[in-house]
Chains A and B, each alone.
Chain A
Amino acid sequence: MSELKLKILDLLKEDARRSAELIATMVGAAQAEVEAAIAELEADHIIVKYATVVNWSKVDDKVTALIEVQITPERVHGFDAIAERIYLYPEVKSVYLMSGAYDLLVEIEGRTLKEVASFVSNKLSSIDRVLSTKTHFILKKYKQDGIIFEEHEEDHRLLISP
């Protein structure tokens, strides 16, 4: 990938609301060039979506759980078909195939503890080939996607220094 595209990705990852004009100034390229690069990144599904990182704990009391899932892989499709069955549920925020003691790590978000528990027992556990689940509730998020939630960004510098 071109250096320009990498720089654009970095700048948008930092703040998705940056305009093509601002990015063009910051990377020292023409605005049209930046716009074209962004369009290509979008078309190639490298930029998948412009999202907002929300610290939900300040808004409401949503419950997030990480669930270790052990499954029997399917013939031909391996883990993929079951993973798909799981990730299509809207409650499921992410699904990863893992190495180690279990197969899938599933992130679930619900309004209440009961809602998550019900999803796990009624929907997830009942899927054919799911052997076992182990649910861990997240008590507090400190950092997500490289963003520290409760960071106190104080500038300790003097207002004027040599």
Chain B
Amino acid sequence: MINQKTMQDYLSPRVRSIPPSGIRKFFDLVSGSKDVISLGVGEPDFVTPWHVREACVYSLERGHTQYTSNAGLPELREEIGAYLSRSFRTDYDPANEILVTVGGSEAIDLALRALIEPGDEILIPEPCYISYSPIASIGGGVPVGIETFAKDQFKLTAEALKSKITPKSKILILCYPSNPTGGIMTYEDWLPIAKLVEENDLIVISDEIYAELTYGSKHVSFPSLPKMKDRTILVSGFSKAFAMTGWRMGYACGHRELISAMLKIHQYTVMCAPVMGQIAALEALKNGMEEKDRMMESYNQRRRLVVKGFREIGLDCHEPQGAFYAFPSITSTGMTSEEFAQGLLTEGKVAAVPGNVFGLGGEGFIRCSYATSVAQLNEALDRIGKFVLARKG
């Protein structure tokens, strides 16, 4: 290369320093395998409801192919505002406090880019969704993991949070219901966390993409807690509740100045979310609740099946209260999560994601998505049972 430099030398040190995603590594391993039942998928097994797809097709027929306003279609923002108020008691002004993004991921990236100054510490309860820590690093922040434990149903405790707060702490990223653990937080669980957030003047990014997927108790939205609305950016989207992962439709809600700062980055990078996705999202919110409930009931049924199955196999499994993942412990087999997942893939022909890729506290577990058919789940449980028996036997 020029002046003996390699391409690596041109790359930004921030990007260079980020290790490749553990999930990506495992994906490469899995993609060559045949006859595999996959429990490794972080998305619904349903196709987007037909009326949502149809609304998009119809809008294309009518020629709706133009830019929308940067913040998103006004009617979609209105509908998002009404939905959040109705479902989670969080009130946002659609004109200034809601921004439609390209998936929840863009919303998180915008929030971090709008807030981080180099050296700021970003508190992240782990195990968690794989992207938070790398996006924080790319933004120049310092991710600080907070380990959560199966004995606490992977809830974030005030003690654990407090022990990690320093004068440099600026942002706390929350994701409940949790990917990968299925843990949730109740109103009582949140109160001491909110107190610490206020005392330490933290800004919260609350990723509530799985808010619709709770079993038993209703989701408690972090900004609905006393005094939390103005210091929280609520991030959500349509992927999980309405089976719309590929559409990449998300949104962020928060204080108008924060949203306005995020809008600046959004308008100079992606301009606006794709119009066809926005039209589909509008249809999903207006007429998709019944389909959503039907899918939810189905996840709930499979959740019970899977948890019982793991326990019968002899793997400890806390009962997930949200999302569509079971997170059983595999420590009784004496293997690391990577050894277990690789062995299960090659010998048992079942793909599950090793827990260590989700950060602190993930080692010793595997993430199994139960967003797959009952027949497939039964077959997968059978195979896992045989694999574990052979190892323990």
Contacts and interface: CB of A to CB of B under 8 A. Distances in A.
The reply to whether chain A is a binding partner of chain B is yes
Interface of A: 7, 11, 15, 22, 25-28, 155, 157-162
Given A25-B304, A160-B41, 13 more contacts: A11-B301, A15-B374, A25-B308, A27-B304, A28-B300, A157-B45, A159-B27, A159-B40, A159-B351, A160-B40, A161-B41, A161-B43, A162-B130
B119 to A, nearest CB: 28
9 contacts: A27-B301, A28-B304, A157-B41, A157-B45, A159-B27, A160-B26, A160-B38, A162-B23, A162-B179
Contacts of B38: 157, 159-160
Interface string B23-34: 100110011010
Nearest to A28: B304
B193 interface: no
Please provide the 9 A-B residue pairs with the shortest distance between their CB atoms, ordered closest to farther.
Answer: A26-B301, A160-B40, A160-B27, A159-B38, A159-B30, A161-B42, A157-B41, A162-B42, A160-B30
B302 interface: yes
Contacts of A159: 27, 30-31, 33, 36, 38, 40-41, 351
A155 B40 CA distance: 13
Kindly state the interface size class of chain B when it binds its partner. 20 to 34
A85 B77 CA distance: 60
A11 B305 CA distance: 13
B380 to A, nearest CB: 13
Contacts of A22: 305, 374
B104 to A, nearest CB: 11
A85 to B, nearest CB: 41
Contacts of B300: 28
A155 B301 contact: no
Taking each of A26, A155, A162, which has the highest tally of chain B beta carbons within 10 Å of its own beta carbon? A162
Taking each of A22, A155, A157, which has the highest tally of chain B beta carbons within 10 Å of its own beta carbon? A157
A28 B300 CA distance: 9
A161 B245 CA distance: 11
Contacts of B353: 160
Interface string B122-146: 0000000111000000000000000
Interface in B28-61: 30-31, 33, 36, 38, 40-43, 45
Nearest to A23: B301
Contacts of B21: 162
A7 B304 CA distance: 14
Contact of A161 (B33, B40, B374): B40
B41 A158 contact: yes
B48 to A, nearest CB: 12
